[in-house]
Structure 1
Amino acid sequence: MSIHLQSSCVKSKNAGEERGEKEAGSRIASSSLKRNAREKKSSIPPTPPTSSFSPPTFRKPLPTEPLFDPELRPFVLSTHCDALFASLRGLQEEGLLLDCSLKLLGNSYKAHRLVLAAVSQRAEGWLLSGETGLKEVEVDRGRMTPAGLKAVLDFSYRGEVDRGETDEVLEACRCLRVDRLEQLCGKDAVVSGSKEREKSLHVIRTMWERNAGCDVVIQTNSGDRFPAHRVILAAGADYFRALLCGGLRESGESVVFLRGVTSWVLRDLLDFIYSGRLNLSFRNVWDLTEAASQFQLQGALSLCLNFLQDNIDETSCLDILALAEAYSLEDLGRRAEDYVLAHFQRVAEGEKFRDLPCIQLQRLLERDALNADSELAVFRAVVNWVEDDKERRLSHLSRLMQSIRFALMRPEELQEVQDCKLLLRSSGGKTVLETVSNLLHGDRRNSDCKPRTPNQVLVLVGGDCVNENFERREPNLCLWFARRFVRGEGLIRTIEWRPLAHLPEPPRFRHCVCVLNNALYILGGRKYYGALDILKTALRFDPAQGRWERLPDMSRPRDYFAAVCHRGKVFVLGGNCDDMNCLDSVECYTPEDNTWRSSHPLDVPLCGHAAAVLNGEMFVSGGCDSQLRCYPCLWVYDSVHGCSKRAPMTVGAGRAGHVMLVSGHRLVVAGGLQPMWAGFGDQLQCESYDPVHDSWTSFPFLPRPHLSPAAAALDGQLYVLGGSSADSARDTPWVHRYDPQAKCWNKLGTMPRPYADLAACALQLPVSQKS
């Protein structure tokens, strides 16, 4: 069967491919954000003695009034209303700030007038009367009963409707003029307590905006005064609960002074307490995060932290790290530090890196996770940091150089270190020069050091290409790994490839690979171009030992199939078996007993499809059947129950010869071909799948065709390598990488040869193999 996924007999080397492309990218934060995270804050709001919270100072920019900030966007905490009313119930149960006592049949039912006023017109009148202190009301009239009054109170604090004694509830509603509850009692529909609480909060917010019933004024240094309700402040923030309910002087005063907080910050935080909404941008998030942390306003703080986490980039990561450390925001600090480590070279090129404190820089240098093209780049970053303030920082040079891993450098890199004149100016630098000299002369005693990363590298396996004389296609027997990615002058990029191992005969293309417990499995494919050349053999490669192992054969020969590792097993799904027929069969290999077993078949025979594992589920996308019908389908495959359909891909009438990779919590399909009005054509459009909402969204186009390419995910970035073009029948030598931060594909350079029908993976290699 000719599947038309590769046009293998007519592929040719594309010598005229252009050598460079313009890179695209986008920054999340505003370019107008010019801030120095090291400018010391003058004062902070006082923390009540009942709290152990004592924030350190955070050096931040001068306060900015963000009223007219065009970048402000609203963020809503969906759980705020429920949390606020839960806190109000807690205040009621503890007997705090109660200002209303309803007497009925000799019993007293205490509540907060403001909470009652959100549902009762009579209570609203009590609130607006201006009376202070405890309001006592006799309600022994008509046919009001304790059950009816309790239902009204429950509705006020919980938004729940008790229809058990409807007549009694209706009588209480008429007495207290609780119109909303009275209307709900007459309906059979299920009442949502959450929605009713939201309605009550809206009423409370409206009263606050009208300054109705406010019983406390918050005043700032500038003299601005903000009326509010004590009970809402106490329910909304632990700081105000301690201030107003903890027996402090402020609990009995009508005006409370807050020092060290600007008026607009206080205004925004009060607005959040009454609504659960914050308007955020990079201009105001620093001050709001600081204030929300100091006032222990957890809901507002969570919105600020989510905003910062979602918008970490090279211009903001060091500021976010400083903020997180100043206020002990551990999770935010980890995220910011991880970003700095993952993008160390770019961050080190920025202006804010120059202001990094020495102790923080040293901690970064000591981390194994620091990501750089080479250790020389780390050395250069330290030298530039010292040079920026040589008089003060030269004394730190010796300590910082102890964190540089010189043993990881190549001879030409060590030579650059040896030529650095800055090292001659300190005793510690001279020690470094001695170490470098020893390494250059081959003395590597006591030079063992851990690599910066987990040593995962991009590995190419097999494939085929036109031979050097353009006479015929030849399968590839070599495994290559990308030792490093080099950024040259301007837009020029190259990849330094090194051979890793040689495949045992026969060579393979149109095969699959997967990695389980850092062992590389190479499965099926074909050794040449005849119908009898399709393979059912399987190999396993141990990179630590450099050892190959022949595994039992699969039950059927397969090429153009898919393979994944799932729950400790290797699954092979579908494929072409004889150039005439596709397979629906699925097999799984169990390493423990070295055995292949049959699993539930696919819904349809497929070849040229793709598979990936996300959130513990196996997904299968697209492919062609034996009649060359191309599918847009997405299935979830279960080894016991088979396939269940999900939302189909939306781009084109189908997709085959493509790849599917995991990016975060989504799946990305890229490359391949699509059905055209006559035959098939290249598919450059990509799309991503959200399993939570069962929906597809657009994704940046691939810059070049990649039909039957290799693909791998490494360090959170997606790689698509080689393949061919359905339109031109030419091989694709390029490697493209998707950067989730920049939201674009970048051309990184070429493969060792323009391979097609190859496979790739991320594999952890010993240090000795990488050097």
Structure 2
Amino acid sequence: MEVKRRRDSSGQFSDNSDHDCEESSLKCNECGKNRAIMARYSEGYGTEEECGQSDPQRESDADADVEDADTRQQIVGSLQRISSRKRRRQRVTRQDTTESEDDGGQSRQNHRWSLRLSPHRSPSRTILEESVSQVRPLVICHCNPAEVSDLGISAVLEFAYTGIITNLTRGSLPQIQAAALYLGVPRVLKLCKEEKERQEKNDSEMKIKERNSGISAEEQKKVSLQAIRKLWDKRVGCDVEVEAEGRIFNAHRVILSASSDYFRAMFGSGMKETQQESVSLLLMGAPELEALLHCCYSGHLLLGWGCIFELTSTALQFQFQTALSLCLNFLQQEMDAYNCLDVAAFAEAYEMLDLREMAEDFTLRHFEDVAVTEKFQDLPVEKLKAYLRSNCLCVKSELSVFRAVVSWINADTMARVKEARDLMRTVLFPLMTFTEFREVKVITSWPRVSDRDLYESLFEEFCTNTFHSYSDFRTYLPKETLVLVGGEKITENLDKRLPCGEIWFSNAFHNHVGLMKRIEWKKLGDLPEKPRFCHSAKVMGGKLYVVGGRHYYGKDDMMKCAYRYDTIQNNWQRLADMNEKRGNFALLVVDGKMLAIGGNKDIEENIESVEVYCPITDSWSFVQPLDQSLSSHAASVWNGEIFISGGFDSRYQCLESMFLYHPEKGTTYLRDMSQSRAQHCMETLKDCLYVAGGVSGVGGQLFDQLACEIFDPVNNCWCAIMSMSMPHVSAASAVLEGKIYVIGGYCHEDYSDTKVIHRYDPAMQHWENLCRTPGSNTHIAACVLAVPHHLRQ
């Protein structure tokens, strides 16, 4: 094979069109036959020898380090755009690479560097159909025109752009193999070899991803992007210089266009920069350009609070969408009490409504922490008033609000003391205790204000409302709500228990005088068809799922039906039934699927089976069962792993076990709990799993378990925390805004209902007695759900 470039009479590369390149003078020096023609960018592709003798294997080798989730997002978006550019090539007047065949006159346009990288075709970003200023022909000659077919080249190009070959069959294998061998694509050759071996073994059921030797299309794309970055590091194929603040950076137009809509318009709409070898950016800083270019080629963006606002504004201005997404993710995930006000101000300046809403919501829900920072003292007075009047303001008591106002005024007393009266109106002094109100006297030290009059008016307000404390409260609206589903309750005349089909949600929290709290409950609706108890409920994809349970007390009253409730549409949908009836089982959401674990299928028999529900196919399928039958156990997810504690075995013995469960690998036992436990609750909060309530078994007898403990999954150890003041057997539980709620249940000793809700605050390390349950008390299912705003008014 011989590779040549066409030159004009002066010895320079000519700027002829593709049609000009197909004249009779382009013949192979050895056989005289027509040669395949490839057009390419005129700038930055290296020497003739480099282009003709490049080692595909060397160029395709890439670092195998695993990239994070944000990098994968960059990778997927990049190659999809590059691939879309190839699909839309007929709309482009000229591209950087064309390829033609003399057998049948087939012609194909592609990106030159994509062919060189076809061992890996990875994400770069939306690739633009940009116009190219100077295109010079590159001629690839082969003596046997049948050696490389259109089908073979198509397969190689498909792999280069997508990471897979969909038409790798027995009939196409020789042609694809020939094209890969001719073009020097070792990874395609490897796929062909593996496919041939499979065919010889008559393995006709192999899936496409299995053909990739365990390497997925996304991983193939990742390696391609890494290889593209290597070309950029070596300045191979760079066809434009970008200048910012006097620094010059080399890049590929196609990569810039794929990564930025700004450059896409610049290079693809006939602007003068289309013909220029250098582009100056007057409004972009050199550090920002360097970071964004690195992101375009690697999928990584090094972020920190020292540069995040500059990078975000630059990515927004120059429309680097993936980089902007990474910046916004950083701002949302790394936000804390010390920078949330900066994020809110930045979002307001750039009219980023979603980010602003999130930052202000964070400020309100962490107000006590934010109020002690220096940034808080710089708040404009109107913004401070808006925060203090908001129903989303989360404070333990009115003393916290008062202290925040005093702190803000003391930051510039002479200028701000005039705002004291208006700001004090946002403090609900009647909700203070006498001890708390003593601190209010500090305002008498402020200058230039009738301190005594202000203090006396506040004291009068405090005293006149003291005896109406239950009607005075500060309302707090959490972003999400506790939802209670079904259960059973005792009739009004206390003669029997009945299943319940009501669904309630916590609309608001009321802070009364001192530590007194109350939850405002509203009814969301009723369960479809029959009421139920001993069931499970979870939220997945913003929708409520209710599964299994029993509708009455007979042996055959267990159910296997499942329903989904859409709060936006306010409708129920009947889903596929489970394969087995289940009650007193655990239901978890893991990786976008639900797992129904164990339970009992009637009042006498526990089961060990586990089923997984796929919402896409609306189907249940069995996975690896538990190693023993189990019911009334508790399960929770930590770091993507499933932890299961306690429960009753097949002989209804109360267990003290704690183990890991994997749908494919099965059970791995961990350190036991300090005592046996069943009909209890277990929730994940931060880095620990909290266990509370239930019953314990000693000598064949069951008794109420008031002790609580937490499990450290990293160190595989347990430790005790504050015990509960009353029993919660068969209670519901959920985590809302960093606090654990244990709802209802009953007392095993006398079978009386526990009609209260307890909340555990890890920061305070104690249980709070909140209020009574709104409806059912036992065998309830609880979860956390975002209820539409119109239902909360």
Q: TM-score range by the shorter chain?
A: 0.5 to 0.7
Pairing 1:716–2:721 present? no
Q: Find the counterpart in structure 2 of residue 229 from structure 1.
A: 252
Instruction: Give me the TM-score of the superposition, normalised by structure 1.
Output: 0.56
Q: 1:159 aligns with which of 142, 160, 163?
A: 163
Q: Find the counterpart in structure 2 of residue 98 from structure 1.
A: 95
The residue identity in structure 2 corresponding to 1:351 is E
The residue identity in structure 2 corresponding to 1:136 is P
Offset, 1:453: 0.9
Offset, 1:383: 3.1
In the superposition, relative to structure 1, how do residues 101 and 760 fare at CA in structure 2: closer, same or farther (>3 Å)?
closer
Pairing 1:187–2:187 present? no
SS at match of 2:249: strand
The residue identity in structure 1 corresponding to 2:234 is R
Q: Find the counterpart in structure 1 of residue 329 from structure 2.
A: 306
* 8 Å CA contact 2:685, 2:735 repeated in 1: no
Instruction: Give me the TM-score of the superposition, normalised by structure 2.
Output: 0.55
Q: Distance in 2 between matches of 1:449 and 1:751?
A: 19
In the superposition, relative to structure 1, how do residues 634 and 319 fare at CA in structure 2: closer, same or farther (>3 Å)?
same
In the superposition, relative to structure 1, how do residues 159 and 719 fare at CA in structure 2: closer, same or farther (>3 Å)?
closer
1:643-684 residue CA offsets vs partner (Å, 9 max, x unmatched) = 99985663317841684244579993425799999x999884
Offset, 1:75: 6.7
Offset, 1:253: 2.5
The range that moved more, 367-376 or 147-156, is 147-156
Q: 1:380 aligns with which of 397, 400, 403?
A: 403
Offset, 1:367: 1.6
SS at match of 1:452: strand
Q: Distance in 2 between matches of 1:338 and 1:74?
A: 28
1:433-472 to structure 2, matched below 5 A, reads 437=460, 440-441=463-464, 451-454=474-477
1:16-415 to structure 2, matched below 5 A, reads 76-92=70-86, 93=88, 94-95=91-92, 98-105=95-102, 106=105, 108-119=107-118, 133-137=134-138, 142-143=144-145, 144-161=148-165, 162-163=167-168, 165-188=172-195, 190-191=211-212, 192-221=216-245, 223-259=246-282, 261-394=284-417, 396-397=419-420, 400-401=423-424, 403-405=426-428
Q: Distance in 2 between matches of 1:118 and 1:607?
A: 54
Offset, 1:449: 8.3
Offset, 1:168: 3.4
Q: Distance in 2 between matches of 1:378 and 1:368?
A: 13
The range that moved more, 668-677 or 349-358, is 668-677
Q: Distance in 1 between matches of 2:173 and 2:424?
A: 79
1:449-485 residue CA offsets vs partner (Å, 9 max, x unmatched) = 87331499x99xxxxxxxxxxxxxxxxxxxxxxxxxx
Q: Find the counterpart in structure 2 of residue 463 from structure 1.
A: none
1:474-515 residue CA offsets vs partner (Å, 9 max, x unmatched) = xxxxxxxxxxxxxxxxxxxxxxxxxxxxx9999xxxxx9999
In the superposition, relative to structure 1, how do residues 300 and 79 fare at CA in structure 2: closer, same or farther (>3 Å)?
same
Q: Distance in 1 between matches of 2:182 and 2:631?
A: 73
Offset, 1:354: 0.8
SS at match of 1:302: helix
In the superposition, relative to structure 1, how do residues 718 and 670 fare at CA in structure 2: closer, same or farther (>3 Å)?
same
Q: Find the counterpart in structure 1 of residue 670 from structure 2.
A: 650
Offset, 1:83: 1.3
Offset, 1:181: 2.6
Q: Find the counterpart in structure 2 of residue 632 from structure 1.
A: 657
Q: Find the counterpart in structure 2 of residue 7 from structure 1.
A: none
Q: Distance in 2 between matches of 1:429 and 1:649?
A: 67
Offset, 1:81: 2.0
Q: 2:504 aligns with which of 507, 514, 517?
A: 517
The residue identity in structure 2 corresponding to 1:145 is S
* 8 Å CA contact 1:657, 1:708 repeated in 2: no
Q: Distance in 2 between matches of 1:111 and 1:697?
A: 54
Offset, 1:398: 5.7
In the superposition, relative to structure 1, how do residues 748 and 665 fare at CA in structure 2: closer, same or farther (>3 Å)?
closer
Offset, 1:107: 5.2
The residue identity in structure 2 corresponding to 1:213 is G
Offset, 1:751: 7.8
Offset, 1:84: 0.7
SS at match of 2:395: coil
The residue identity in structure 2 corresponding to 1:101 is T
Offset, 1:412: 7.2
SS at match of 1:186: helix
Q: Distance in 1 between matches of 2:438 and 2:726?
A: 43
* 8 Å CA contact 1:101, 1:108 repeated in 2: yes
* 8 Å CA contact 1:280, 1:304 repeated in 2: yes
* 8 Å CA contact 1:173, 1:181 repeated in 2: yes
Q: Distance in 1 between matches of 2:231 and 2:77?
A: 20
Q: Distance in 2 between matches of 1:176 and 1:610?
A: 60
Q: Which runs of 5+ in 1 are unaligned?
A: 1-72, 122-130, 460-502, 507-511, 520-540, 546-553, 556-560, 578-582, 589-596, 637-642, 689-695, 724-734, 753-757, 764-771
1:591-670 to structure 2, matched below 5 A, reads 600-601=601-602, 603-604=605-606, 609=632, 621-624=645-648, 628-632=653-657, 647=667, 650-652=670-672, 655-656=676-677, 659-663=680-684, 668-670=689-691
Q: Distance in 1 between matches of 2:164 and 2:81?
A: 16
In the superposition, relative to structure 1, how do residues 155 and 273 fare at CA in structure 2: closer, same or farther (>3 Å)?
same
SS at match of 1:380: helix
* 8 Å CA contact 1:407, 1:439 repeated in 2: yes
Q: Distance in 2 between matches of 1:568 and 1:155?
A: 41
1:705-739 residue CA offsets vs partner (Å, 9 max, x unmatched) = 66986577454312689x9xxxxxxxxxxx99766
The residue identity in structure 1 corresponding to 2:135 is L
The range that moved more, 270-279 or 241-250, is 241-250
In the superposition, relative to structure 1, how do residues 110 and 665 fare at CA in structure 2: closer, same or farther (>3 Å)?
farther
Offset, 1:365: 2.0
Offset, 1:325: 2.9
Offset, 1:99: 1.5
* 8 Å CA contact 1:308, 1:320 repeated in 2: yes
* 8 Å CA contact 1:219, 1:257 repeated in 2: yes
In the superposition, relative to structure 1, how do residues 442 and 284 fare at CA in structure 2: closer, same or farther (>3 Å)?
closer
SS at match of 1:279: coil
Q: Find the counterpart in structure 2 of residue 17 from structure 1.
A: none
The residue identity in structure 2 corresponding to 1:660 is C
In the superposition, relative to structure 1, how do residues 747 and 585 fare at CA in structure 2: closer, same or farther (>3 Å)?
farther
The residue identity in structure 1 corresponding to 2:100 is K
Q: Distance in 1 between matches of 2:709 and 2:465?
A: 50
Offset, 1:348: 0.5
The residue identity in structure 1 corresponding to 2:73 is T
SS at match of 1:250: helix
What count of residue pairs does the alignment treat as equivalent? 556
The residue identity in structure 2 corresponding to 1:99 is D
SS at match of 1:668: strand
In the superposition, relative to structure 1, how do residues 132 and 505 fare at CA in structure 2: closer, same or farther (>3 Å)?
closer
SS at match of 2:672: coil
Q: Which runs of 5+ in 2 are unaligned?
A: 1-66, 121-131, 196-209, 483-490, 507-517, 523-530, 539-543, 561-580, 584-600, 608-628, 746-756, 771-776, 784-793
In the superposition, relative to structure 1, how do residues 203 and 412 fare at CA in structure 2: closer, same or farther (>3 Å)?
closer
Offset, 1:245: 2.5
Q: Find the counterpart in structure 1 of residue 786 from structure 2.
A: none
* 8 Å CA contact 1:340, 1:347 repeated in 2: yes
* 8 Å CA contact 2:119, 2:185 repeated in 1: yes
SS at match of 1:373: coil
Q: Distance in 2 between matches of 1:204 and 1:310?
A: 30
State the structure with bigger RCO (CA 8 A, min sep 6), 1 or 2: 1
